[in-house]
């Protein structure tokens, strides 16, 4: 099996940020994903949109990283949102009830207006 790959690209605008995620988030790639999320919070971001356009797979480790970020943002009255989920990624998040806890938008433009 090929090793999971992940690409993370962020765009920060003041206290708002969009993190584009491409590839797969599993036990191997979740730590750099979590580190990137933590780095954005450390910069003072309080509105974060995770753009999943290129995300093909997410494991419980990736959802755990998002959950920790959600808790941190909620503590400072911030917002976390997701957009552009594939059916597979959406199914995994639904299974762990994560989509019940954060808003999910059809695309980045819609998501950015709401963070």
**What is the distance between the alpha carbons of residues 43 and 97, in angstroms, rounded to a whole number?**
28
Provide the pLDDT for residue 2. 67
Q: 23: burial class by Cβ within 10 Å (0-12, 13-18, 19+)?
A: middle
Q: Which CATH architecture has domain 6-113?
A: 2-Layer Sandwich (3.30)
**What is the distance between the alpha carbons of residues 83 and 20, in angstroms, rounded to a whole number?**
10
Q: Express each pLDDT in 58-93 by its tens digit.
A: 999 999 999 999 999 999 999 999 999 999 999 999
Where are the domains positioned within the chain? 6-113
Provide the pLDDT for residue 4. 81
Evaluate the CA torsion angle 22, 108, 11, 30 in order and state its sign: negative
> Quick check: helix, strand or coil at residue 76?
coil
pTM: 0.95
Report H helices in 1-115.
Answer: 30-42, 60-75, 87-95, 108-113
């Amino acid at each position: 099996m090929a090793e999971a790959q992940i690409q993370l690209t962020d765009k920060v605008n003041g206290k708002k940020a969009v993190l584009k995620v491409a590839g797969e988030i599993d036990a191997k790639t979740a730590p750099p994903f979590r580190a990137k999320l933590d780095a954005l919070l450390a910069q003072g971001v309080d509105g974060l949109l995770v753009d999943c356009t290129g995300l093909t797979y997410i494991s419980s480790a990736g959802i755990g990283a998002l959950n920790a970020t959600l808790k941190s943002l909620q503590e400072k009255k911030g917002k976390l949102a997701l957009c552009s989920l594939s059916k597979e990624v959406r199914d995994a998040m639904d299974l762990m009830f994560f989509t019940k806890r954060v808003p999910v938008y059809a695309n980045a433009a819609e998501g950015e207006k709401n963070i």
